[in-house]
Structure 1
């Protein structure tokens, strides 16, 4: 992220989903980085403001869906400082649409990097794909969401979306691609062409 401070390092507050991960993180000492457990944070009383105010950027690491209320409180408390959510632990499309009153809160975040693997199984084959978005240097400039599919050991872009595609949209892209490349479809096209050639009709 393009953050700079004159005369001192940027102070980062990393908020972990549980005490076990927080303790493990505290064993590694990094200057200007503070680690705190999300549940402990809300039981700190008045000292929570000191912790939040001292940070230049707040990072939620692998937050759980049931911690959204705390996340919203913290985010509002540090505004206008940047808040980063890294690897949220809820599913891609299903749960986010069912997270109650937090839809607007989640919608206030801009996705700067996302790499989600997918697999679609058809009758005779399967397709491995990826939904991908990457914002270079943290500066948004209209980056598209890409759907890539593995072909001959390489990932190739098969579709682009302006907004994050739903699971249904991604499945449709992959199913259509499988249908186009299906041996059954190819055989049907061949037979149609053969009949056309024999009858002389187009």
Structure 2
């Protein structure tokens, strides 16, 4: 599932194309009774105000870690931007102010590489430019007491030209932001910045991205909303070298809204990672589902995962949750308990 970037100020995030039907595990329900589920991206409104934690997970593929804290998913585009900005600023602050000379730093430490993802309505150049402006023009990171110089590297010359023009229209007069195009980014541009942000590079640009990031070393590099899906990374969409390079970026912020629909019910959920600076700390991936009525919704933490789950694993978790709450499953559970009471097996187990 690919996710692209956010455009102000819609309250829902829609996929560009319908998601194909998802297979139904035979151990949950029979095929005729429940249609395939669909997962869609969304950004909730109104904001949730209550969060519960669950001590168990409905899915076994990833290994869950103990629940901790009370994560709060973003309730609006502005909150998602603020969370991502806070996470990136916190991640960049230490490497930007490292007192070691670049020569020694390169020998002693790996280049700081960070990744942030905010799914949005469309992937137009205007949407990408607006999101980049909102996140990076007010990032608030300094180096040695002065605003850090960020180089925004755009995937095409058209997007770069539009961004330069729009940044001026939106009131950006800062000398701390510079622009370049990925295919022709110069060594001088990389040498004069404190950190570089590579915005929405395409899958076919991975080698150019790798060359630019390596030329930037040891300065920090940020990969922002890559134009490929996590599933592409997991399913052999890159060669060994390219996959290792993409995997070297530490995800400091990622937000994906989910809506799973069945015949009799639907569930809304959020897959979120927010490291060092959002509304909650920790480095795990958190899956939450919405419960309660529309007037007083609340998110329940159902799993905290050590690694990023695949869409298939998220499907299984959401399927299990819907199965546990479906009228069919509840009726089957009642019948099992009734049979146990009639035969006396339940009573013997309790003695």
Counterpart for residue 49 of structure 2: none
Q: Which has the higher contact order (CA 8 A, sep 6+)?
A: 2
The answer to which of 3-12 and 171-180 deviates more is 3-12
Counterpart of 1:166 in structure 2 is 310
**Cα deviations by residue, 1:114-160 (Å, 9 ceiling, x for unpaired):** 0012333445333322211001249xx85111111122233221111
Rounded Cα–Cα distance in structure 1 between residues aligned with 2:153 and 2:196:
7
Other-structure match for 1:13? 151
Distance 2:263 2:343 in 1: 33
TM-score by length of 1: 0.87
Does residue 78 of the first structure (1) align with residue 216 of the second (2)? yes
Q: Equivalent residue for 1:100? A: 239
Question: Is 2:327 the counterpart of 1:188?
Answer: no
Shift, 1:95, TM fit: 4.7
Q: Is the 8 A contact 2:255 2:270 kept in 1?
A: yes
Distance (Å, rounded) in 2 between the aligned partners of 1:95 and 1:121? 27
Is residue 256 of structure 2 the alignment partner of residue 112 of structure 1?
no
Residue aligning to 2:8: none
Deviation of the 1:106 alpha carbon: 0.7
Q: Which segment drifts farther, 16-25 or 81-90? A: 16-25
Give the conservation status (yes or no) of the 8 Å contact 1:122–1:175. Answer: no
Q: Secondary structure of 1:136's match?
A: coil
CA distance in 1, matches of 2:328, 2:221: 50
1:85-116 Cα distance to aligned partner (Å, 9 max, x none): 11111123235531224110011100000001
The residue number in structure 2 matching 1:155 is 299
Distance of aligned partners of 1:120 and 1:94 in 2 relative to their CA distance in 1, 3 Å threshold? farther
Match of 1:175 in 2: 319
Structure number with the higher strand fraction is: 1
Check if 1:40 corresponds to 2:157: no
CA distance in structure 1 between the partners assigned to 2:145 and 2:343 by the alignment? 83
Query: 1:112 is paired with a residue of what secondary structure?
Result: strand
| 1:200, distance to aligned residue in structure 2 (A) | 2.7
Q: What are structure 2's unaligned runs of at least 5 residues?
A: 1-88, 97-141, 347-351
- TM-score, reference length from structure 2: 0.52
Whole-angstrom distance in 2 between the partners of 1:150 and 1:99: 35
Q: Which residue of 2 aligns with 1:127?
A: 267
Number of residue pairs matched by the alignment: 194
Rate the CA distance shift 1:159–1:7 in 2: closer, same or farther, 3 A. Answer: closer
Deviation at 1:171, TM superposition (A): 1.4
In the alignment, is the contact (CA less than 8 A) between 1:90 and 1:96 conserved in 2?
no
How many Å separate the matches in 1 of 2:258 and 2:341? 41
